[in-house]
Amino acid sequence: MADKPVWEQIGAGFVQLYYQQFDTDRTKLGDLYTDASCLTWEGAGYQGKEAIMGKLSSLPFQSIQHIITAQDHQPTPDNCVMSMVMGQLKADQDQVMGFQQVFLLKNIDNKWICANDMFRLALHNFGA
């Protein structure tokens, strides 16, 4: 991994940590957010660590597993890292669904945190 650009290392490291933690115990994801972080989950907006954790913790499934199909990472002009993830997830006994998620990561006090987070199921992409 050492020969990959640094933003790709940071982005891929975050993505791995995020989904691992989400699938193991999503109530522990709070460390990745700050009080200024924004989450848009299926079109509904949440701001701040507490509101975001309230939403993620109350999602109506017990077990979940994410699989990443593709991930892209870019450096932004303000020294952040933008990451876009496409994948599939399986919640409880539901059928496998596609999802898309975008993160903006920012370095604050020598730590990479998630400033922006947007999630959508890919259901409505099953087209003609």
Residues forming contacts to another protein in the complex (CB under 8 A) are 36, 38, 40, 43, 45, 69-70, 72, 74-78, 80, 82, 84, 86, 88, 95-100, 102, 104, 106, 115-116, 118, 120, 122, 124-128
d(CA 112, CA 96): 31
Question: Of 45, 37, 36, 12, which is closest to residue 116 (Cα–Cα)?
Answer: 37
Q: Is 24 helix (H, G, I), strand (E, B) or coil?
A: helix
d(CA 104, CA 59): 22
Q: Which is nearer to another protein, 60 or 77 (CB)?
A: 77
Q: Which is nearer to another protein, 95 or 110 (CB)?
A: 95
Q: Which is nearer to another protein, 51 or 102 (CB)?
A: 102
